[in-house]
Amino acid sequence: MCGICCVASLSVQHTIGRVFKEDLLCNLRRRGPDCSQQQIKTISDLSYQCLFSGHVLHLRGLMTPQPLTDINNNVFLWNGEVFNGIHVGLVENDTQVMFHHLSSCSNESDILSLFSLVRGPWSFIYYQASKHYLWFGRDYFGRRSLLWQFNNDLDRALCLSSVSALSESDNQWQEVPASGIYRVDLKACAISQSLVLTLYPWKYHTKENAIEETFLSGRDQISKELPSYVSLTMNDSKLSLITPVVPLNRTVPETSVDTHCPNITNSTVTVDDLHGFLAEEHKKKLVHQLIDVLSEAVKRRVLYLFRDADQHTGEILSKPTKKAHIAVLFSGGIDSMLIAALADRHIPLEEPIDLLNVAFMIKEQTKQSNQKKNLELHSCQECFKKLDTTPVDNLTCFNVPDRITGRAGLKELETINPSRTWNFVEINVTLEELKRMRQQHISYLVYPLDTVLDDSIGCAVWFASRGEGFITTQGDLKPYKSSAKIVLTGIGADEQLAGYSRHRVCFKKYGLEGLNKELGMELGRISSRNLGRDDRIIGDHGKEARFPFLDEDVVSFLNSLPVSEKADLTLPRGIGEKLLLRLAAKEVGLKASTVLPKRAMQFGSRIAKMEKSNEKASDKCSRLQSV
């Protein structure tokens, strides 16, 4: 959504412009195309200097330019969404509301309480003038990007920014660890000419009122990554933030789970196989609880948005040629299908929904027209059987797996709601375009992440969320550019409901205890593995990523269940992983898509096959570095 940046220099001699260069400004502007401002504060007697730069993507309430300042000289930059926890009136802007609360905080614990209450994604930078403190941080899951960079040459400086610019300087950017919020005492630092960060970590607040350390608060881990001239401390008074979700339930059933359900040994799983599970009263109740909590999360994410722009043009459009406000990153797999089906419940009926489906061309276009009636399939079952056996060459050009399941998924959604306009946006990417855009944009957005997997997913998500492709209307393919500023993604489902194949491996080796450990670890590192990157990638189009599966209420609900309720990895692929979600999808009215096995985006979109196919996902990606 927004682009925020602050450069704090512990000297007033050198200009901040050495760090804050044109390319960084350009990259920030792409995230916040609606309004850009800069502000410099120089506290010369104490000899420090700060530049604040704010770039706004306008989504809710009245347009609020950033940075915000008040009469006490406080400064606030906010890249977030308050979905809940703190009251934001219909026509209010959450930036203003947060700033108002912050400036009335009289001590540190007030500030920590405020951020403990917010439900929704955020990163922020706050300058508390009276104390000379600079506060900053990211939400518990790290759903918004924030990077830091430290300079130790002419003048010591700390830079914070939503996105970086690849620079020739040796000073690397790193993601700010989403382990809590940080405070820098600029006055003290300017006097001692050293940078000291104070971390206030997240801690669980359990029912018994005992406070437990969270998995990730590890100060040592963060310190290891910092340059030697920066130190990290924690306040002795043990002040901390309270996690917005309950801890993971690690209960493991004593007896092996007894199944009233059909013994599924047949490898062709069908939607009917889900039926038996729903006969169980207890299971059915959980399934409906999941639907309710997820539906509510989707609702908040599709309705918290300024929709009336059309009205202000003064025209009354005779034909409702409404534009889409919401898009879904759409592979036709179960996560994106369920999100699309739930979004349909809450988005005004006359508004189209864009389903963004990306495909990478595998080879130079072989000029063979469709003599083979190619895989135009109506059932996913069928197409999956074919996909597993069809050599890549048999698929025509852009008919990659995600395209095929995407089309099948579209048919299911059209059945669920025939009156909705579903724009299935086919985004075909050629090797040439991939190379060009990677060089111009994607490489610095993925940065500081750097693996082959980051490259594949970064590129796939960038092209998908850009939303430029073709839609079929009345049988004709027409160019189309999605106007939706909100992009919903299904990330978080696999980490919470044991969707990845590595979870099967883990379960086989270490049982449910091992699986619990793995899932807890994965949710703990999702900020550094995925979310910062995805926010930078999607934000680059002046759009905002929203993650229903990482809504605090959804995570708390799923965390409260023992893993045996969420998945049953003794069952075959296509049913055992994310079992609870599959049951929910069935109850919502989805059909064959409910039993699709997981296919990772890099394989589904075939980007992983496009360039070198012999690399390991965890290798450093040379294509990102050769910029």
Ligand X SMILES: *[C@@H]1O[C@H](CO)[C@@H](O)[C@H](O)[C@H]1NC(C)=O
* Footprint of ligand X (CB under 6 A): 61-64, 92-93, 96, 106-110, 198, 235-237, 239, 249, 251, 266, 268, 359, 389-391, 394, 398-399, 403, 426, 428, 470, 477, 560, 562
Dihedral angle over CA of 262, 264, 265, 266, nearest 10: 110
CA distance 17 to 21: 6
Beta-carbon count within 10 A of 150 CB = 18
Task: Work out whether strand 35-43 and strand 48-56 pair parallel, antiparallel, or are unpaired.
Answer: antiparallel
- Name the minimum Å distance from CB 14 to ligand X: 28
- Name the minimum Å distance from CB 391 to ligand X: 6
261 catalytic? Reply is: no
- Name the minimum Å distance from CB 427 to ligand X: 8
Q: How far out from the chain centre does Cα 290 lie?
A: 20
* DSSP code for 477: E
Interhelix angle 334-346/401-416, rounded to 10 degrees, is 30
Of 143 and 403, the one with the shorter C-beta distance to ligand X is 403
* DSSP code for 323: P
- Name the minimum Å distance from CB 105 to ligand X: 7
- Name the minimum Å distance from CB 589 to ligand X: 22
- Name the minimum Å distance from CB 63 to ligand X: 6
Distances in Å between the Cα of 149 and the Cα atoms of 99, 160, 360 are 25, 7, 35
CA distance 23 to 16: 14
CA distance 63 to 137: 24
Q: CB–CB of 20/149 below 8 Å?
A: no
CA distance 211 to 209: 6
CA distance 346 to 327: 13
Which amino acid is residue 19, in one-letter code?
Answer: V
As beta bridge partners, residue 50 has 8, 41
- Name the minimum Å distance from CB 380 to ligand X: 14
Q: Which residue in the list 2, 6, 159, 383 is annotated as catalytic? A: 2
CA distance 525 to 177: 10
Q: Which two tokens stand for residue 253?
A: 């059933």
Of 306 and 421, the one with the shorter C-beta distance to ligand X is 306
Q: CB–CB of 202/140 below 8 Å?
A: yes
Of 283 and 441, the one with the shorter C-beta distance to ligand X is 283
Of 11 and 560, the one with the shorter C-beta distance to ligand X is 560
- Name the minimum Å distance from CB 236 to ligand X: 6
Of 107 and 193, the one with the shorter C-beta distance to ligand X is 107
- Name the minimum Å distance from CB 516 to ligand X: 11
Q: What angle do CA 565, 570, 573 make, to 5 degrees?
A: 95
CA distance 212 to 456: 37
Question: Closest by alpha carbon to 447, among 526, 527, 533?
Answer: 533
Greatest alpha-carbon span in the chain: 79
Peptide bond into 67 cis (omega under 30): yes
Of 223 and 560, the one with the shorter C-beta distance to ligand X is 560
- Name the minimum Å distance from CB 208 to ligand X: 10
Of 16 and 112, the one with the shorter C-beta distance to ligand X is 112
Of 26 and 188, the one with the shorter C-beta distance to ligand X is 188
Of 62 and 309, the one with the shorter C-beta distance to ligand X is 62
CA distance 288 to 297: 14
DSSP 263-278: ----SS--GGGGHHHH
- Name the minimum Å distance from CB 212 to ligand X: 12
CA distance 33 to 29: 5
Beta-carbon count within 10 A of 599 CB = 17
Question: Closest by alpha carbon to 32, among 66, 9, 6, 68?
Answer: 66
3 state SS of 418: coil
As beta bridge partners, residue 146 has none
Of 383 and 585, the one with the shorter C-beta distance to ligand X is 383
Contacts of 439 (CB under 8 A, 6+ apart): 627
Of 163 and 377, the one with the shorter C-beta distance to ligand X is 377
Q: Which two tokens stand for residue 120?
A: 């929704």
Helices and strands: H and E segment counts in the chain: 24, 22
Backbone φ, ψ for residue 282 (5° rounding): -60, -45
- Name the minimum Å distance from CB 300 to ligand X: 19
| Residues that are catalytic | 2
